Amino acid sequence: MKREEMEQKVANEIKHIPHIKGNLEQNLFRSGYNMMRRHDFAQNPAIPPSLSFGKVLEEVRRTNPSFLLIYKRDFFPDV
């Protein structure tokens, strides 16, 4: 997958995880998703978004089990 294509796909996916001013954990999750998704695309472009999402959510919940993430559930149905 070309870099431009990957960047466009990640940008389209991250729209489903809103940036919320003042919500540090939400915004850190977005950043983590961005990094994880790019890594996963580099390993295997066929990896579904929900797998990358789940990896990041698992990491966040290790440090804050009560973290309440805001995202579009219809885009990440397997999470």
Name the token pair of 36: 């994880």
For tokens 């389209």, name the residue: 12
Residues 28-63: tens digit of each pLDDT: 999 999 999 999 999 999 999 999 999 999 999 999
Query: How many domains does one find in the chain?
Result: 1
Q: Chain-centre distance of CA 57, in angstroms?
A: 8
Residue 46: give the domain boundaries.
3-63
Quote the pTM value. Answer: 0.92
The answer as to whether 68 is a domain residue is: no
pLDDT of residue 1: 78
The answer as to whether 77 is a domain residue is: no
The CA distance from 79 to 77, in Å, is 6
The answer as to whether 78 is a domain residue is: no
